[in-house]
Structure 1
């Protein structure tokens, strides 16, 4: 298959969660919705079911979800519920609702109430103090609860052998995505901002073995191309999510290449592998969560050292980028509280940055386009 054909297929996959869900159901498969983020999808895969990421949508207006949500809840959470209430994703066989932030914690109960007569809602509480034996034990106990609920839905036990295989499948997928991100930076003439986002987004809707096979084929095609000489500005992106083509097209209009990211919906999701060869694969999943670092939503006992801010600044420099574009999710308290520390680290490192407030209800990106154009001009002169 040609490079363009592979890209077009992955772009289509990224835009078709409802159609893919209908396809899986027609094939007799059970599908579990997985809300953001850090839920152990490997358990769903090991149960013989399809995990499907639920990260809201750019194509709907919040209507029915307002009956259950406070107005200050972020639009990612509200629109995830909207899709379940309006019939878009109500064919799911269950959903996993992590409680990683102050919105998702109460929101998980709203999902349970709203979906009580439609599907099981599996509650997942991660430990913030996750590094010591007690934290690992708590994480294993929570994952064990998820495992038991998934077994009820699938009707069969999740064996250690199946989970060990799932861990290998997912680690292989993470490696392929990390490789794609590097290749995308080397081939920004082919992998535009919108294509880059779509390729990574498709991973949330396809079984990981299927997705990885497509991505490895794309990676091989990219490796065969000469590295492009990019004369325009290069940036790193950061934030929870930015998958709106109408906004990302502004990067292309202004000749801006995305050469790396610190986005939860993208690279943060595949930075850390699960240890393989552990005697207890459930403990391996817990160890992976404990090993995740530099995330705005996770407790850092050394936060006074501004480790995360320094990590993002180092990412910009190591990637060869000239600046950072921060997509600030509206009503995201952790990101808003972190911003002064992130700004200080960027300023100390002499890295220009721009902060763009976004949510999934935005339709007019005129101000954001103007800001990106001005930022591109600044970077071009630096």
Structure 2
């Protein structure tokens, strides 16, 4: 199969993923804060983590639990829970990494029968006390997962899961590099499909699929791309309508600082330490460029600038999640850093309730003409 055929065959519907694994007799754990949850522990328990990124469409019953000015990815995830579409989950992991997620956790606990597995991260994460605190929170998660699984989770199993997840991280980063060399083939829509599919497969299964895609891309000659090369940043970049606009105006994505895409794969866990849960807490300590993770040095802007320079990109598109306090606080700092580096940037607000994209289309068309 060609690389395009392999990518198009990937499943990206979280609800279908949940159904498939439950039908296979496996327990599924939902995740609402990707990129920071120690999924390795879930995998070691013999369960499948599936990340829920809300759903496209108007906000429904969650209106009774949240104010209107809430990030729609949280509102729409709550909708899925209230509508019974997540009842097959054996648990739902929610963290405290934003004000929105904190409110979401309590509303979920109050209104939905699926057990809520809460991780109250310590954001002073790099000091020894912070690492020890977060290790304890992961151990609490381990205890809760053992209760759901009905058996103990051996450290050896977590060690094996760390090796698997590191291999998957490397494969995803390799795909990111190969996609940048084949921008005519790997369009923004297809590129995103690979990242989106990672949330609905068990990691060993998804790893084999990504390896096939990478092998197909390596077999192809590098492509000359005559469009505009961009780096994207934000929390989520899976709007099919926005990605189609990218393609319409000749944008090729050479790299990203997007939580939904490659950002979560850039920090490896140390293997074979004998203390696997602490190794996972150290991953959280070492993360950089993630809008949900406290960064006193404000490195996200320089990280994005380095990606632009590495790939010779023409500019940056900031996909700002509407009503996300963490992303909105980062925006002016990143804009200042990119301006200082002489890098053009265009900001587009994104929202899962969007039905009109004319404003975004006009802004992106103008940006394509400028860069």
How high is the TM-score relative to the length of structure 2?
A: 0.97
Report the CA distance between 1:2 and its aligned residue: 3.3
Question: Structure 2 matches for 1:1-382, cutoff 5 A?
Answer: 1-10=1-10, 13-14=11-12, 16-37=13-34, 38-58=36-56, 60-115=57-112, 118-303=113-298, 307-379=299-371
Question: What runs of 5+ residues in structure 1 fail to find an aligned partner?
Answer: none
Please say if residues 68 and 114 of structure 1, whose CA atoms lie closer than 8 Å, have aligned partners that are also in contact: no
Alignment deviations for residues 303-361 of structure 1 (CA, whole Å, 9 cap, x no partner): 4xxx3222211221112211000011111122222222111111111111100011111
Secondary structure, counterpart of 2:198 in structure 1: helix
Secondary structure, counterpart of 1:122 in structure 2: strand
Please say if residues 237 and 326 of structure 1, whose CA atoms lie closer than 8 Å, have aligned partners that are also in contact: yes
Report the CA distance between 1:181 and its aligned residue: 0.5
Report the CA distance between 1:99 and its aligned residue: 1.1
Question: What runs of 5+ residues in structure 2 fail to find an aligned partner?
Answer: none
Query: Quick one: distance in 2 between partners of 1:108 and 1:339?
Result: 26
Query: Quick one: distance in 2 between partners of 1:7 and 1:339?
Result: 32
Query: Quick one: distance in 1 between partners of 2:44 and 2:348?
Result: 39
Query: Quick one: distance in 1 between partners of 2:62 and 2:76?
Result: 7
Please provide the CA RMSD for this pair.
Answer: 1.1
Report the CA distance between 1:70 and its aligned residue: 2.2
Alignment deviations for residues 138-192 of structure 1 (CA, whole Å, 9 cap, x no partner): 0011001111111111111110011001111111110000000011110011110
Alignment deviations for residues 101-136 of structure 1 (CA, whole Å, 9 cap, x no partner): 111112111111111xx2211111111101111101
Tell me how many residue pairs correspond in the alignment. Answer: 370
How high is the TM-score relative to the length of structure 1?
A: 0.95
Report the CA distance between 1:6 and its aligned residue: 1.1
